[in-house]
Amino acid sequence: MHHLGTERDILQRQLLVCRDTQERQRKIVSARRLIYEKNYVVDTPQVEALLKEESLVPTKASLTVSLLSMGLTCIKNAFSERLGHAGFDFFLMLVVDLLHEFELGVWKAVFVHLLRMLDSLKVDALSELDQR
């Protein structure tokens, strides 16, 4: 939390950004093949080797597309399928949820501290927050 907004944080967000790449799609297709065709359980080492590094999920999205070059049926994200040809990356439309940046106990302590700061202003700022 204390690194939020620093140069290091900004650099990490740029370097570790999720992208809708062919490689990501291939990993998901391979994981789905292991799960649905070869009857592997989701948390087996074979499936996790494909997905865990990038925290990918082998979820079935809304559209099925045939990848002729690979001879596979690929389940893709609807945004990826319909707008990917125009260079649209659906990961860019997702907002970062700051609550996932730190644990619940830390968030509670920060929030309580912010409430105390508002209360110290003596201008009825807590009531204003409650109204919003």
Domain regions of the chain by residue span? 7-91, 102-132
| Alpha-carbon distances, residue 88 vs 2, 17, 43, 66, 113 (angstroms) | 33, 15, 31, 20, 40
Q: Residue 79: which residues within 8 A CB-CB, separation 6 or more?
A: 88, 90, 93
Residue 49 has a pLDDT of 92
Residue 72 has a pLDDT of 41
Instruction: Give tens-digit pLDDT for 32-88.
Output: 899 989 999 988 999 999 988 877 877 654 333 333 334 444 445 678 778 878 888
Q: What CA–CA distance (Å, rounded) separates 101 from 113?
A: 18
Closest CA to 100 of 40, 7, 8, 13: 13
